[in-house]
Amino acid sequence: MKITMAHGSGGEETEKLISRIFAAHFQNEILDEMEDAAAVPGAERLALTTDSFVVEPLVFPGGDIGKLGVCGTVNDLLMRGAVPKYLTCGFILEAGTDAAVVEQAAASMAQAAAEAGVLIVAGDTKVVENAHEAGGIVINTAGVGFLHRDVQITPSGIRPGDCLILSGSLGDHHAAILSARMRIENHIRSDVGLLTEPVSILLGEKLAVHAMRDVTRGGLATILSEFAKRSGLTMRIRESALPVHPEVRDFCGILGLDPLTMGNEGKFVAAVDAADAETALKLIRDTACGREAVIIGEVTERAEVPVILETKIGGERVVTPLTGEGLPRIC
Amino acid sequence: MKITMAHGSGGEETEKLISRIFAAHFQNEILDEMEDAAAVPGAERLALTTDSFVVEPLVFPGGDIGKLGVCGTVNDLLMRGAVPKYLTCGFILEAGTDAAVVEQAAASMAQAAAEAGVLIVAGDTKVVENAHEAGGIVINTAGVGFLHRDVQITPSGIRPGDCLILSGSLGDHHAAILSARMRIENHIRSDVGLLTEPVSILLGEKLAVHAMRDVTRGGLATILSEFAKRSGLTMRIRESALPVHPEVRDFCGILGLDPLTMGNEGKFVAAVDAADAETALKLIRDTACGREAVIIGEVTERAEVPVILETKIGGERVVTPLTGEGLPRIC
């Protein structure tokens, strides 16, 4: 079945699409009430976030747009130190999209939501015209997390001496998407995934985690630039410490890409008090998604430049945020 | 300035777009922190909703996509009996969109949010390719409202004998959009607006409001069908009572459109206990957006059909939800 403009009319066809695909996969007590707004238990302090997801191809090695849509928003809540609780979900479908692809995305979302322990409590579907009836999907998710009164995790809380821990290898998602687009056959898989496990452990152990950020659009270079800007300090990292899988490194070499500006979808960088850094590293390494975690550098008082990379041959390179398109759009 | 793919890269251009347009207009203490997730005070019980907005033209008589994006989501929260508090906002921009149009949408959103007393606390921007570089905007908003412990407003709470109150005339938004698209010159203006005033007054007076729903996509016919389905009762309305502005009525007559299935963006229908109906009607009529409110019918035990219209000439017509495209897409 192809999605048609009628599926976006708000009438009977919309209702059928919702009940057959979305309600069937997202089924839960709150969503089943089919209200325009869901009523849910709250908390004294909340974390709120939103993200829209566009990716081509919609299904790629390691995941699909549905998994991306849940992991991206859940990870944003985790990075703030919140416990993710609820998602809302807006589907924008181009007329001509195969309903089977929409269903696969919904199934992936449901699976990732269950894994993350969040409920999809409200949804919306719109259909937009597409000149070529080629089809396409944009998914917006907004997330609500419960935030403990005392949790203050934010780049402005970074302190000189903090260690910078990266939870794993760089560039996998970006390289996987580009490979799929360029029809290059390799074994590179997207790292799209939830950061729930390492983050809950770090927070559960009450380690001095000052800031966390998932390494998505713009890559590590952009995240560290933001850390520097928001804290007024300098981030100093070592090139030799940066984990990049050999196949991704080769792929980048051939295409002239820099893993520092490439996007990931299942990695984070944390600024942790030096006293707790080794413990934090060990705990992250004990999790399924953090086995390749490393300390990539330290925070220093503000130097001449905000982010410095010590190169493998002993030099220093200024790291700047991604500018221009840089790389083809992948998330 | 035209929006380019670089504005969606997540790097420096994205940051400039965000700071120059979105941060400038949405400016508030929470958003200014520029976190991936906002931290906000919560409440014991929450209402959550989401909606995506696509409308052509982006600016129309009576409003624009920005105003639509805030009013639609705020109204959904109000319909549940919640006090709207926070919005998240996802912009999906087509490459080639004029930045001035994006700015106008942002300015309208800011104004409507201020009027509604809600804060825009998190945002996201993506840029998608457009074959013709013609430009286009989709806005997704998700809303969080605080819900009092005792408030239970839902179609399943509708009771036999309830009066159905409609807050004003039908079809204005739909007719305004169609007129603009067809380049027909008339004085029809969209009714896009906030329902904050009448809803807060009804709830403040603790009247027995059993259900509320804003009359958007699918029109009154679709909403009443849902009321009937969810309550297991029959909705009986009178054609003679339905308010339709003369110019909208003429417009519909010429094009063969039915105001019952046309979308509005600033009207709601409420099922109110008969004992409180006259008081509720008076209170709604005292508000700026409810001056033309009327009792359009009543709820009865389940009859043979779920929604019945008593026609002006004394007959009865079965009212069914909108099917097919019905009408060109307007929201």
CB < 8 Å to B33, chain A: 154, 156
User: Is there a contact between A323 and B11 if contact means CB atoms under 8 Å apart?
Assistant: yes
pLDDT digits (tens, 9 = 90+) for B12-56: 788 888 888 888 899 888 887 777 889 999 999 999 999 999 888
pLDDT digits (tens, 9 = 90+) for B99-129: 999 999 999 999 999 999 999 999 999 988 8
CB < 8 Å to B13, chain A: 323-324
Question: Would residue B327 count as lying in a domain?
Answer: no
pLDDT digits (tens, 9 = 90+) for B69-78: 999 999 999 9
Question: Would residue A94 count as lying in a domain?
Answer: yes
pLDDT exceeds cutoff 50 at B131: yes
Kindly report the CATH number assigned to the domain that includes residue A214.
Answer: 3.90.650.10
Which of residues 33 through 52 in chain A touch B, CB cutoff 8 A? 33-52
Question: Would residue A109 count as lying in a domain?
Answer: yes
pLDDT digits (tens, 9 = 90+) for A257-281: 999 999 999 999 999 999 999 999 9
The size of chain A, in residues, is 331
CB < 8 Å to B18, chain A: none
- Asked if omega into B84 is within 30° of 0 (cis), the reply is no
CB pairs under 8 A between A and B: 256
Q: Could you tell me if A82 and A146 are in contact, meaning their C-beta atoms sit under 8 angstroms apart? A: yes
CB < 8 Å to B326, chain A: 9, 11
| Shared domain check, A268 and A177 | yes
Question: Would residue B130 count as lying in a domain?
Answer: yes
Q: Is the pTM of this model over 0.90?
A: yes
Domain termination residue (choose one: B146, B179, B201): B146
Q: Which band of pLDDT confidence, cut at 50, 70 and 90, is reported for residue B331?
A: very low
Please give the pLDDT value at position B329: 52
User: Is there a contact between A54 and B128 if contact means CB atoms under 8 Å apart?
Assistant: yes
Q: Could you tell me if A268 and A215 are in contact, meaning their C-beta atoms sit under 8 angstroms apart? A: yes
Q: What is the ipTM of this complex?
A: 0.90
Question: Would residue B251 count as lying in a domain?
Answer: yes
In this predicted structure, which of A16-30, B141-155, B314-328 has the lowest mean pLDDT? Answer: B314-328
The per-residue pLDDT of chain B, averaged, comes to 92
| Shared domain check, A138 and A195 | no
Domain termination residue (choose one: A127, A146, A165): A146
**Ramachandran assignment for B74, one of left (phi > 0), alpha (psi -120 to 50 degrees), beta (any other):** alpha
Each residue of A105-117: b (16+ CB within 10 Å) or e? bbbbbbebbeebe
Angle, in degrees to the nearest 10, between helices B196-204 and B65-79: 10
| Shared domain check, B260 and B129 | no
Question: Would residue A323 count as lying in a domain?
Answer: no
| Shared domain check, A228 and A97 | no
| Shared domain check, B70 and B192 | no
| Shared domain check, A310 and A168 | yes
In this predicted structure, which of A118-132, A246-260, B158-172, B266-280 has the lowest mean pLDDT? Answer: A118-132
* Residue A279 burial by Cβ neighbours in a 10 Å radius (0-12, 13-18, 19+): middle
| Shared domain check, B63 and B178 | no
| Shared domain check, A142 and A34 | yes
Separation between Cα atoms, residue A60 and residue A69, nearest integer Å? 14
Question: Would residue B38 count as lying in a domain?
Answer: yes
Nearest by CB: A154 against B5, B35, B324:
B35
Closest chain A residue to B322, measured at CA? A11
- Domain residue limits at B107: 5-146
User: Is there a contact between B131 and A126 if contact means CB atoms under 8 Å apart?
Assistant: no
Residues of chain A with pLDDT under 70: 131-135, 324-331
Kindly report the CATH number assigned to the domain that includes residue B71.
Answer: 3.30.1330.10
Domain termination residue (choose one: B100, B129, B146): B146
| Shared domain check, A117 and A86 | yes
Question: Would residue B329 count as lying in a domain?
Answer: no
Question: Looking at the 3D structure of chain B, how many domains does it have?
Answer: 2
Q: How far is CA A282 from CA A45, A265, A278, in A?
A: 30, 22, 6
User: Is there a contact between A48 and B41 if contact means CB atoms under 8 Å apart?
Assistant: no
| Shared domain check, A206 and A142 | no
Please give the pLDDT value at position B132: 57
| Shared domain check, A271 and A246 | yes
| Order of strands, sheet of B316-318, starting from the edge strand that comes earlier in the sequence | B209-214, B268-272, B163-166, B294-300, B234-238, B307-310, B316-318
